Each structure stands twice: as C-alpha cells, then as structure tokens.
Structure 1
Amino acid sequence: MKHKENWYLVAYDIRDPRRMQRVHRFLKRHALPVQESVFFFQGTEGAIRRLMDEAARMLNLREDDLRAWPVAGPGEAWMYGKGMMGERLQAPGRRGWIKRLWCWLRSR
C-alpha cells in the first residue's frame, strides 16, 4: 500500500547564525526553498516527521523554532515580490519532481 504524499510548508526562526546555516543547508537538500526561512516539502506524513526530527536535532529548542503545516501545494500560495523560487527553481534529489512542480505551477 502506497502512502499518500502531501505538501507541507516548513519555516524556522533560529537565533544562532551557525545553527541557522546548518538547518538551511539541510532543508535545501530536502525541500524547495521559497524564502530564506520558508520551504515547501512534498512527502508522506512519515517523511515530514523524519525531516522535522532530523532538523530538530540541530536546534537549541529553548531559543529556536521549527514548524511545518500541511498545505494544498505551492500553486495555492499567494506570492508577491522577490522570492527564491523566482530566482532559481531547485528541488532536491528527484529531477522529475522539478518538472512536475514547474508544470503544475504554470498551469495555475
């Protein structure tokens, strides 16, 4: 049985610049950057839990904040101004994922 993949909006607020860079690099490998601290992630509920757990190990939980919300998808977001997606659309790992996302966004 295949688990359903969903979209999630992931955002962080990290006080220490070194921790912030570490988490940012980690999320860029696994999610689509929208802004400096905001990402879209596509995966199963188990995948987002693993992503959040791994990223949380890089945080100081007394100072930092990491959150994820289920969303309909990037095409449902209202975006104005300069964002990272407009500069260069880069998705992690699977190249087909980029093409599907790009086609889906353009069809809206």
Structure 2
Amino acid sequence: METTYLVCYDIADNGRLQRVCRFMKGIGLHLQYSVFLCRLSWRELVGLKVALEHLIEPSEDDVRIYPLPSRSLVFALGRGPEAAEEGLSLAAEAFGEKDVDKCVEFSPELDQT
C-alpha cells in the first residue's frame, strides 16, 4: 500500500543541495524549491531514507519526511493555477481526487505582491 509523503529539506552546502534535488526529482513531484510530494510504499520509503542519509551531512543538513492523510484538501495561495497547474493536478491525483476544483482552492485576493 502506498502513502503520500511531503519531503522537505534544508541543505547547507550547494553541491549537496543540487545532488539531493536531482535525486528527489526522480522520486516525487517538485512542489517548491526544497519540497517534494511523493507516493511511496513502505519499502520505497525506507529506500528513500537510506539514500538521503548517504547524500546529506547530518551535522549540517535537515531533511523531514511527513506522512499525509489519504484524503486531504490542498490549498494553494499566491500565483494561481496558471503558475503551477500541472503540479497541482498531479498533487490532487496523488490524493485520489479526480476533480481538481474540489481539491485545490486559490485565493488571489490574499496575494499581497
């Protein structure tokens, strides 16, 4: 059985940061600079953890892996659907929601830029 995870990281060294980012692009959906959405089995999660342990420097870097509920609302604030439409559609599908409008709410009036 697969579970959806949010993987976030803060990597101190630029070289390690690039390696982690390249690796994660092969694993999940790149949502923001250091944030990925991944659907993984338990075995894949363990493999991800082991691989990341080899890519980072534990005394300098920080990686967090958060399991997400199987059915969740996804809210996106800011640039709107045209800026991340593909990623949001994939994120919605990762949660099992076929109708993206039910899963994603945009609030452009909150964007102060």
TM range (shorter): 0.7 to 0.9
Instruction: Please say if 1:104 is aligned against 2:101.
Output: no
Matched, 1:44 2:41: yes
**What number of residue pairs does the alignment pair up?**
96
Q: Which amino acid aligns with 2:84?
A: G
Q: TM-score, normalised by structure 1?
A: 0.74
The reply to whether residue 66 of structure 1 matches residue 92 of structure 2 is: no
Bigger strand fraction:
2
> Gapped runs of 5+ residues in structure 2?
103-113
> Can you give the 5+ residue segments of structure 1 that lack an aligned partner in the other structure?
90-97
Q: Considering only aligned residues, what root-mean-square deviation do their CA atoms show, in Å?
A: 2.7
Check 1:82–1:18 CA distance in 2 against 1; reply closer, same or farther (3 A cut).
farther
Identical residues among aligned pairs (%): 31
Determine the C-alpha separation between the residues in 1 that align with 2:71 and 2:21: 19
Q: Which has the higher contact order (CA 8 A, sep 6+)?
A: 1
TM-score by length of 2: 0.71
Q: Deviations over 1:45-70 (max 9, x none)?
A: 22112112102201011000111011
Q: Find the counterpart in structure 2 of residue 57 from structure 1.
A: 54
Runs of 4+ displaced beyond 6 Å? none
Which structure has the larger Rg? Answer: 2
C-alpha deviation, 1:105, in angstroms? 5.8
